[in-house]
């Protein structure tokens, strides 16, 4: 995008509809107890800009491109009207697993967070074992380490957890060479390796596919610059994908659902049921899983909920300043 590109609305237009919210989570997730997001209304509907607080402006720019794409451009043709989704189990104690899974009615797949720095492999094993007990033998379990293991730790952990019939292991290590190495070392276990951070946080999101370092790609609309940018990456890699969220509000999840609806081949349940992790949301009709799926539809925030969950003035000012800086990068790119 350039400053002359009509698809980049003026900053004043964005600021005119901006709402900053802070939503409580049922359980701590990624070290967060609340999820903050900035919502915008464009001619095509409501959209979301919610890069995590630790991301710098350069990384946040793709998130704004995604927000503009979804709010100011028509969505691609949808190939399906609902998306099968997985349950997401944070790094909770094993005794809380059943309570978490109950928030995802009908979901046949669970993604389980592992490798939390304040926990042990024994904690991970206990959590995954309990997920297997609750789901039964026909349920699908995938684990996500967020790149927090080194190669040796990953090999040890995957060996220990493979006893629970894993669908795949998401981002066991952080770098592409490490992913390639762990994929080679654990090939005898027949547990596929999925890449997330190596796609969405990379200056070259295709590198992991070229290196043969993953069997599956986890694709998220916001970090990759929007639906069209994500579809381009999917088309170039030739690998199967899982469309997932970044702990979005239901507005952001709607963007993800529209992306998933546009993917020609969708062979895995998607990580778009995460509204169930939010104790609060911006709509009275959140995109919660029903019979294991979420609908593909636009979400309109409720004015009263935007007011009820408004972030503090200090946090609102922080987000609006971030929006202005990021807009300057996107408009001048």
Q: Which helix (H) or strand (E) holds 220?
A: strand 216-220
Q: In this structure, how many other beta carbons lie within 10 angstroms of the beta carbon of residue 155?
A: 18
Q: Spelled out in words, what is the top-level CATH class assigned to the domain 80-293?
A: alpha beta
The pLDDT tens digits along the chain (333 residues) read: 333 344 899 999 999 999 999 999 999 988 899 999 999 999 999 999 999 999 999 999 999 999 999 999 999 999 999 999 999 999 999 999 999 999 999 999 999 999 999 999 999 999 999 999 999 999 999 999 999 999 999 999 999 999 999 999 999 999 999 999 999 999 999 999 999 999 988 888 899 999 999 999 999 999 999 999 999 999 999 999 999 999 999 999 999 999 999 999 999 999 999 999 999 999 999 999 999 999 999 999 999 999 999 999 999 999 999 999 999 999 996
Q: Which two tokens stand for residue 126?
A: 């206990």
Q: Is 24 a catalytic residue?
A: no
Which is the CATH superfamily of the domain at 9-73+301-330? Answer: Enolase-like, N-terminal domain (3.30.390.10)
3-state secondary structure of 189: helix
Q: Which two tokens stand for residue 91?
A: 């790094």
Domain definitions of the chain by residue range: 9-73+301-330, 80-293
What sign does the CA torsion over 155, 158, 162, 167 have? negative
Binding residue per annotation — 44? no
3-state secondary structure of 195: strand
Contact 48, 40 (CB under 8 A): yes
Residue 135 backbone phi and psi in degrees, to 5: -75, -25
Find the catalytic residue in 24, 96, 111, 220: 220
Q: Is 201 a catalytic residue?
A: no
Binding residue per annotation — 144? yes
Binding residue per annotation — 196? yes
Model pTM? 0.95
């Amino acid at each position: 995008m350039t400053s002359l590109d009509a698809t980049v609305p003026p900053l004043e237009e964005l600021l005119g509809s901006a709402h900053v919210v802070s939503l409580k989570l049922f359980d701590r997730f990624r070290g967060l107890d609340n999820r903050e997001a900035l919502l915008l209304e464009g001619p095509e509907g409501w959209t979301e800009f919610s890069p995590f607080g630790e991301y710098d402006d350069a990384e946040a720019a793709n998130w704004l491109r995604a927000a503009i794409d979804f709010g100011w451009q028509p969505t691609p043709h949808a190939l399906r009207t609902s998306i099968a989704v997985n349950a997401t189990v944070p790094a909770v104690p094993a005794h809380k697993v059943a309570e978490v899974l109950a928030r995802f009615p009908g979901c046949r797949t669970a993604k389980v967070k592992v490798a939390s720095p304040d926990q042990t492999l024994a904690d991970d094993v206990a959590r995954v074992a309990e997920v297997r007990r609750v789901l039964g033998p026909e349920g699908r379990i995938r684990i996500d380490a967020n790149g927090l293991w080194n190669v040796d730790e990953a090999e040890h952990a995957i060996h220990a957890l493979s006893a629970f019939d894993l669908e795949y292991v998401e981002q066991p290590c952080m770098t592409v060479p490490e992913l390639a190495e762990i994929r080679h070392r654990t090939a005898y276990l027949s547990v596929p390796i999925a890449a997330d951070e190596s796609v969405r946080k990379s200056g070259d999101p295709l590198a992991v596919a070229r290196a043969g370092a993953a069997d599956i790609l986890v694709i998220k609309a916001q970090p990759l610059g929007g639906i069209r940018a994500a579809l381009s990456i999917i088309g170039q890699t030739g690998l199967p994908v899982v469309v997932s969220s970044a702990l979005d509000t239901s507005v952001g999840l709607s963007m993800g659902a529209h992306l998933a609806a546009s993917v020609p081949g969708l062979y895995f349940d998607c990580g778009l049921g995460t509204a169930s992790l939010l104790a609060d949301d911006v709509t009275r009709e959140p995109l919660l899983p029903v019979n294991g799926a979420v609908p593909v539809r636009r979400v309109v925030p409720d004015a009263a909920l935007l007011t009820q969950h408004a972030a503090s003035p200090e946090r609102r000012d922080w987000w609006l300043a971030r929006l202005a800086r990021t807009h300057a990068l996107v408009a001048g790119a």
